[in-house]
């Protein structure tokens, strides 16, 4: 049982809750000699791999440290520019550490609001009448389950592909939401959820599910 | 078991072919606009999937399901995209799409010297073969209303 994350989106498409549950950390460290056999892309705010996958370093991974020195964006923590260090022959051999880019909170909010029109268009482009929006979206690495309540709140779970029982889990989370969020007098509707009781209960529920315990309704 | 419709796009988003079998609802916009909307949605889903994925995706997006239908997606390395809408209980659609690509698309479209890349397919032979193939498939069942 692996659940990667839980998202709750309000009826206007804003992310009001997010929990990363079991995100795998993908990091690879490797010592390189000159010249570098992977192509790096220095555009934008980060250094990422553009071409040349090898030894677990894949296209799209970002550089997080050089010789153990952490990289902030395109600059090293000690102030040197990453590009200059990597392109200088005298610095080799170099130990570079790459990781799959982690989503920032901003990116998560962006993605949550991006799902909203996808959900709506899926129902508009339906070949059958009266179709709902996307309920299950499957990719090769994960499966996203979405449950929309009558009031328009969407609960989403990103889980492993062949994970059964997610539908029940979604309704259990809805129950927790109704119990601990909506009954909280300090919570204003549509706003981000910051309720301690909800956090602890949700965590307990996910732990229970992950241990293989059947979710009882 | 129903096959509703099939869209084929190229890597630039041009609608190369559209086939329709059991479609009960029309979106109320022209076919051109519908194709653009569909391509735009697929493009967004692709980027959404690559960002939200916990691991490095390989094939990426495979399909989505609503309570009424499933949209199945096959993208080839050349950027040709096959989108097939079916009912949401059918299985083995990926293999079905792969066969359409290798046995029909490559044979009757790519190997047709009269077809220019990037233009809609007008070949009657392809259309006839596709119709025949779809109607023979076990996925193509009668519509239960």
ipTM entry: 0.89
Q: What is the pLDDT of residues A171-195, one digit of tens each?
A: 999 999 999 999 988 998 889 999 9
Query: Do the bridges between strand A94-99 and strand A154-159 make them parallel or antiparallel, or are there none, so unpaired?
Result: unpaired
Burial class of A10 by CB neighbour count within 10 A (0 to 12, 13 to 18, 19+): buried
Cβ contact B34–A103 (<8 Å): no
A186: tokens are: 């300090």
Q: Angle at the Cα of A12 (from A7 to A18), degrees rounded to 5?
A: 15
Verify whether the Cβ–Cβ distance B23 to A124 is below 8 Å: no
Rg over alpha carbons for chain B, rounded to the nearest Å, is 15
Residue A215 above 70 pLDDT?
no
d(CA A61, CA A53): 10
* Residue A217 pLDDT: 47
Asked if B50 contacts B42 with a C-beta cutoff of 8 angstroms, the reply is no
Find which of B31, B37, B52, B85 to mutate to test the A interface (most A CBs within 10 Å of its CB). B52
A55 close to B (CB below 8 A)? no
Q: What percent of chain B has pLDDT over 70?
A: 96
Indicate the residue of A107, A111, A139 with minimum beta-carbon distance to B62. A139
Residues 70-99 of A with CB under 8 A from B: none
State the CB neighbour count (10 A cutoff) for residue A66: 21
Q: Mean pLDDT throughout A16-36?
A: 89
Q: What is the overall mean pLDDT for chain B?
A: 91
Mean predicted lDDT score pLDDT of chain A: 90
Task: Note whether B52 contacts A134, CB cutoff 8 Å.
Answer: no
Backbone angles phi, psi at B72, to 5 degrees: -110, 140
pLDDT at B142 over 70: no
Mean pLDDT of A69-95: 89
Asked if B69 and A26 come within 8 Å (Cβ–Cβ), the reply is no
Q: Tell me which chain B residues have a C-beta less than 8 angstroms from the C-beta of A132.
A: 66-68
B95, pLDDT greater than 80: yes
Under 8 Å CB pairs connecting chains A and B tally to 119
| Average pLDDT of span A162-178 | 91
The A residues from 178 to 217 touching B (CB cutoff 8 Å) are: none
């Amino acid at each position: 049982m692996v659940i990667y994350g839980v998202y709750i989106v309000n009826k206007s498409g804003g992310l009001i809750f997010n929990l990363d549950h079991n995100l795998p950390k993908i990091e690879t460290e490797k010592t390189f000699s000159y010249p570098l056999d992977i192509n790096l892309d220095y555009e934008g705010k980060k250094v990422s791999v553009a071409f040349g996958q090898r030894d677990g370093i894949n296209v799209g991974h970002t550089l997080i440290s050089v010789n153990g020195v952490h990289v902030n964006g395109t600059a090293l923590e000690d102030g040197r520019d990453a590009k200059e260090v990597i392109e200088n022959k005298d610095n080799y051999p170099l130990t570079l550490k790459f990781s799959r880019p982690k989503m920032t909170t901003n990116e998560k909010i962006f993605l949550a609001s991006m799902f909203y029109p996808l959900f709506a268009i899926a129902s508009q482009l339906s070949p059958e009448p009266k179709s709902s929006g996307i309920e299950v979206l499957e990719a090769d690495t994960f499966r996203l389950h979405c449950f929309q309540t009558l009031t328009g709140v969407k609960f989403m779970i990103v889980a492993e592909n062949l994970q059964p029982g997610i539908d029940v889990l979604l309704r259990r989370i809805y129950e927790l939401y109704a119990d601990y969020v909506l009954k909280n007098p300090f919570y204003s509707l549509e706003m981000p959820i910051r309720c301690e009781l909800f956090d602890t209960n949700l965590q307990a529920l996910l732990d229970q599910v992950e241990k293989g315990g059947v979710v009882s309704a | 078991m129903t096959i509703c419709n099939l869209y084929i796009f190229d890597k630039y988003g041009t609608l190369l072919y559209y086939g329709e079998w059991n479609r009960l609802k029309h979106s109320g916009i022209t076919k051109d606009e519908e194709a653009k909307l569909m391509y735009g949605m697929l493009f967004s889903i692709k980027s959404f999937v690559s960002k939200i994925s916990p691991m490095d995706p390989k094939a990426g997006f495979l399909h989505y399901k609503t309570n009424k239908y499933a949209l199945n997606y096959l993208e080839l390395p050349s950027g040709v995209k096959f989108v097939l809408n079916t009912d949401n209980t059918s299985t083995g659609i990926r293999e079905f799409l792969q066969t359409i690509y290798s046995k029909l698309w490559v044979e009757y479209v790519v190997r047709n010297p009269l077809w220019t890349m990037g233009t809609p397919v007008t070949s009657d032979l392809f259309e006839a073969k596709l119709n025949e193939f779809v109607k023979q498939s076990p996925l193509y069942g009668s519509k239960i209303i």
